[in-house]
Amino acid sequence: MPTLATGGLEGLANFLDDFMGGVELISFSIALGALIWVRLVLPQLDRSTTPAESDQEASMSTLIGHGLRWLYLGAYVLAVSHAIALLAKAWVLQETLGHLPWAAYMGTTQFQAGFLRMLFSIGLGIATQNLHRHPQDPIRWRVVMGLMAAVALCGAWLTHGVGRFENREMLMLFTLIHQIAGAVWFGGVVQLIVFWRVARHSPPLRSLWPQVLRRFSSLGLIAVATLLFTGLPLAWSYVNSLTALIGTGYGSLLLTKVVLLAVALGLAWLNYRAGKRWEKGHSGPALHRTIPHIIEAESFILVSLLFVAATLSSQPPAVDIPHLTVSPAEVWNMFSPKWPQLTSPTHEELLIGEVQRATIVGKEPPIAASAWSNFNHNVSGLFLTVMALIGLIGYFRKTPWPRYWPAGFIGLGIFLFFRSDAQAWPLGPLGFWESTFSDGEILQHRIATLLAFVLGSLEIRARTNPNARHLRYMFPILCAFGGILLLTHSHAGFELKTEYLIQSTHTVMGLLAALMAASRWLELKLEPPAATWAGIAAIGSMGLIGLILMFYDEPIY
């Protein structure tokens, strides 16, 4: 392994800093959702439906124990994610400035709020473990709830609002309430999934499932209403025009968040309707066979939504960069149908072109680099489009060969391995380890390449080997992870308009990857014909990603 240069890990630090934002929101949601679940949802259950008093007590003890375990797990993960984020920010500062100004860094609001939140999260985890051993102690309950309140309040100083000059307190308050509402929703969904997995093997708990679903649906409605009530003024404060909504990174991520929210609400509505039908005495098999898996698919969407929300915090608000807003026509040009570029400059031509640009005074368009990038994207799009077409044939013709369409991922991985980063090994002068850890963009490309290999290998085996069918659940999980990488993907450089136009395609592809993951999960879990339609939706999402890549045309300014 070659020795890394002094600044060789800056890319890794940047990537960790961005990724930890999503982990922080998820772990906070898990912890807060577990606390709300144990304190508000479980006590309201009517346990007269369980067969005996001993079964009632055992069931409630099991449920409380599971809830408290998730609470302290979320608290500890939150503490670790804040610690990693603080170290990553310090790392970036040191690599950028050549030294780390500790006093100045520790004096920032972001460091102080993050450090306090880390300490409170550790305290919350310890207090919850003590409560788990003594769940009837009211003093321990008050300590846990007080620490949770402190953890939530610290989050207000880690938002865009803290840096505003106008309406600072209002923006901080609304963002805090918005985060809490989202945490209650996602954390509750996690608890619903945990409850169902435990209840499948416990008749007393299984009998409580309709009640649990109905109780949480009511709580979820309140959370969603709060999200909308606080989200609208926040959106208007940070994005005050339709052009900014379409033509900035902040605006496009906000649109993506709205679409994911709408999909999650659609799935949640199915759960709510099932609960209402049970309440009216019309309980059907779907309550136990279909609804649990719809909730699982909902969790895929909500995880992606939380990562989008975290990525928003790293973007400048659209109102602050009106001079960097691109027009709707420029955005449309990135997605409009066009003939793919199937020829590429040689690697030598690319390097010569970049050297010439560096030695010429003034601004020279990166023609060779753009042609290289267009070829990479367009060929990748052809891979995915052909794979999607072959996959769709399998739903309409019962022949064995379409099941091998995931082999295209292996071919795509080989192609990306050689082509994704021309300046890095194996084609470029930068070594593998040096390039991987010195540039966050290259690091994400390496992960995407590995992901393509793994996706193709596992999915072929799952579809062709009856003894390896358990591997098929890895596809939606890895697909969701790939979507998160796309949603948090950034391009380095100084041309901010160009960066946004490129980012806009990655954002839409990340959204489609999240929909693909949820649809594929439903295909595996549901029965026909719902499973068939879910599978077609998953393959269709992959096909749309392929078309976006095939029509990709990198802007040159």
554 CB contacts (<8 Å, ≥6 apart)? 370, 373, 374, 377, 498, 502
pLDDT digits (tens, 9 = 90+) for 430-479: 777 777 766 667 777 888 888 899 889 988 888 888 777 788 899 999 99
Tell me how far apart the alpha carbons of residues 86 and 109 are, in angstroms, rounded to a whole number.
12
Residue 154 neighbours by CB under 8 Å, 6+ apart:
113, 114, 116, 117, 120
SS3 2: coil
pLDDT tens column, 131-149: 998 888 899 999 999 999 9
The DSSP call for residue 412 is H
pLDDT band at 508 (very low <50, low <70, confident <90, very high): very high
As a whole number, mean pLDDT of residues 389-404 equals 89
What predicted TM-score, i.e. pTM, was given to this entire model? 0.88
The pair of structure tokens assigned to 535 is 């599978």
- pLDDT in the model for residue 363: 56
The pLDDT tens digits for 305-354 are 999 998 888 788 888 888 888 888 889 999 999 999 988 888 787 777 66
| Rounded distance between C-alpha atoms, residue 188 and residue 36, angstroms | 8
Asked if pLDDT for residue 278 goes beyond 80, the answer is no
Residues 94-122, mean pLDDT to the nearest whole number: 88
Q: How confident is the model at residue 282 (pLDDT cuts 50, 70, 90)?
A: low
> What are the residue ranges spanned by the domains of the chain?
10-323, 326-550
pLDDT value of position 294: 93
Q: Would you say the C-alpha torsion 403, 510, 303, 88 has a positive or negative sign?
A: positive
| Res 7: pLDDT | 40
Q: How confident is residue 261, by pLDDT bands cut at 50, 70 and 90?
A: very high
DSSP characters over 457-518: HHHHHHHH-GGGGGGGGHHHHHHHHHHHHHHT----SS-HHHHHHHHHHHHHHHHHHHHHHH
Classify residue 449 as exposed, middle or buried by CB count within 10 Å of its CB (0-12, 13-18, 19+).
buried
Both tokens assigned to 424: 């890095």
Q: In the predicted model, is pLDDT for residue 124 greater than 90?
A: yes
Q: Please, what is the average pLDDT of the chain?
A: 85
Q: Is the pLDDT of residue 232 over 80?
A: yes
- pLDDT tier, 493 (very low <50, low <70, confident <90, very high otherwise): very low
Q: pLDDT-derived band of residue 94, with 50, 70 and 90 as boundaries?
A: confident
